[in-house]
Chains A and B, each alone.
Chain A
């Protein structure tokens, strides 16, 4: 496209470095001094929360951690909030990862809860990483101890009390997919099709959240937490202000800053053009 050649930002009015500095401040200040701006809750986060709320103590839930380090900023806060909700309700959690890098995240959550008295193998278990993306998904859903014979700590999964009576995914009440792309909501829905009765709840990056819309409308997915904002909404419904809520202030300021720069850019552009005309 024949856009006008660069006017290098540095030359006109505001230097790059100054803009970078303002960006850091716009994000850092609200993190240090949280304002607690209101967060409006979207219906699909509310619905997802309600479905988790309906679970009984002792029910089992399967969570897959399908995001890598670069997606973690967007999804991990949601994972933390949902995990906390499940722990508060005494639900038993089985975790797995279909993305190699996702393997690190369940352990991070679990060790924090172990310090608070939860027991690995009774309250939760991590089955480790399974390769093959969608084929891995299909294999695990059909036969959990078969596809993942040993857990992430190297012991046979059948040796843990939490795995008693767990054969297929149908023995879990809910599947929660935390996705940074592939596998994602589409793959979850497709592979869980044969197991009616297992509810699907998903948290994904803001970028892919719009693609989940059709599944929500059709009822195949019961709830959606989209990106960092979704996590803040989930924290709001749960009634506590965690990391995501504090991050929301920063995100708001950053958005307003970008708009401010765009406005400033236009003002500088048009005033300098006027001056050239004179």
Chain B
């Protein structure tokens, strides 16, 4: 019972969505629309559960005598800011404290972390772009052409590079992307089919 019923639920809900996509059967399509709305709602509950889970971990840390003081400080920060954001946001999505926390903590940190990708791009390029083998040389060659083609100053003096870069992006790159997508699509369909036919139960 504890596995059969969940598997049946997965199979039924999966087939409803698929049939609604391929056939114009009004009641099934209505059911599929309902189901997707339900999905959004259940996923929202999952976030609440996960957030509760995070809080439990940090509360656990605070009450653990042997935990380092430093980790406790961080747990206090997590719990405090979570409560401040959650409470003010639930009162009103336009609450000034909620907006302030968003503008002054979440937004700047988000942009800062995204921007750190530039540093990582530099170190990754330093390691990966080495002419060790034919394959690595192809990686390197294509990378250098596109880098030069995109650098504004190079483009102003040697417009040829920009054209070469556009060509690499448009022809070989496009071919590889398509090939990757076609292969991956077939794998994804198989993986999905295994779930909605009840063959794959690893998620239970």
A residues with a Cβ closer than 8 A to B are 4, 6-7, 9, 14, 16, 19-20, 23, 37-40, 69-70, 72-73, 206, 210, 229, 232, 248, 251-252, 254-259, 261-262, 264-266, 269
Binary contact readout B126-143 vs A (1 if CB under 8 angstroms, 0 otherwise): 110111100000001001
Q: Which of A16, A229, A266 contacts B123 (CB 8 A)?
A: A16
- Decide if B153 touches A37 in the complex (CB within 8 Å): yes
- Decide if A70 touches B111 in the complex (CB within 8 Å): yes
Nearest-neighbor residue (CB-CB) of B150 within chain A: A255
- Decide if A257 touches B122 in the complex (CB within 8 Å): yes
Binary contact readout B90-122 vs A (1 if CB under 8 angstroms, 0 otherwise): 000000000000000001001100110011011
Given the contacts A40-B159, A69-B110, A262-B140, A256 and B153 also touching, CB distance less than 8 Å: yes
B residues with a Cβ closer than 8 A to A are 107, 110-111, 114-115, 118-119, 121-123, 125-127, 129-132, 140, 143-144, 147-148, 150-156, 159, 166, 169-170
* Cα distance, A255 to B161, chains bound together (Å): 13
* Cα distance, A199 to B17, chains bound together (Å): 38
Main secondary structure of the interface of B (DSSP, over half): helix
- Decide if B147 touches A255 in the complex (CB within 8 Å): yes
Chain A residues with CB under 8 A of B114: 70
* Cα distance, A70 to B109, chains bound together (Å): 11
Shortest beta-carbon distance, A217 to chain B, in Å? 13
Nearest-neighbor residue (CB-CB) of B119 within chain A: A20
Shortest beta-carbon distance, A122 to chain B, in Å? 26
* Cα distance, A264 to B154, chains bound together (Å): 20
Chain A residues with CB under 8 A of B132: 4, 269
Chain B residues with CB under 8 A of A72: 111
Name 8 interchain pairs, CB-CB below 8 A, sorted by A. A9-B123, A9-B127, A40-B159, A69-B107, A210-B166, A229-B152, A255-B150, A259-B144
Given the contacts A19-B122, A210-B169, A266 and B131 also touching, CB distance less than 8 Å: yes
- Decide if B122 touches A252 in the complex (CB within 8 Å): no
Shortest beta-carbon distance, A262 to chain B, in Å? 4
Nearest-neighbor residue (CB-CB) of A39 within chain B: B152
- Decide if A70 touches B122 in the complex (CB within 8 Å): no
* Cα distance, A256 to B62, chains bound together (Å): 49
* Cα distance, A69 to B131, chains bound together (Å): 37
* Cα distance, A37 to B154, chains bound together (Å): 10
Given the contacts A40-B155, A40-B156, A40-B159, A261 and B122 also touching, CB distance less than 8 Å: yes
- Decide if B121 touches A210 in the complex (CB within 8 Å): no
Nearest-neighbor residue (CB-CB) of A70 within chain B: B114
Q: Which of B122, B129, B156 contacts A38 (CB 8 A)?
A: B156
Shortest beta-carbon distance, B166 to chain A, in Å? 8
Nearest-neighbor residue (CB-CB) of A254 within chain B: B118
Shortest beta-carbon distance, A257 to chain B, in Å? 7
Chain A residues with CB under 8 A of B125: 258, 261-262, 265
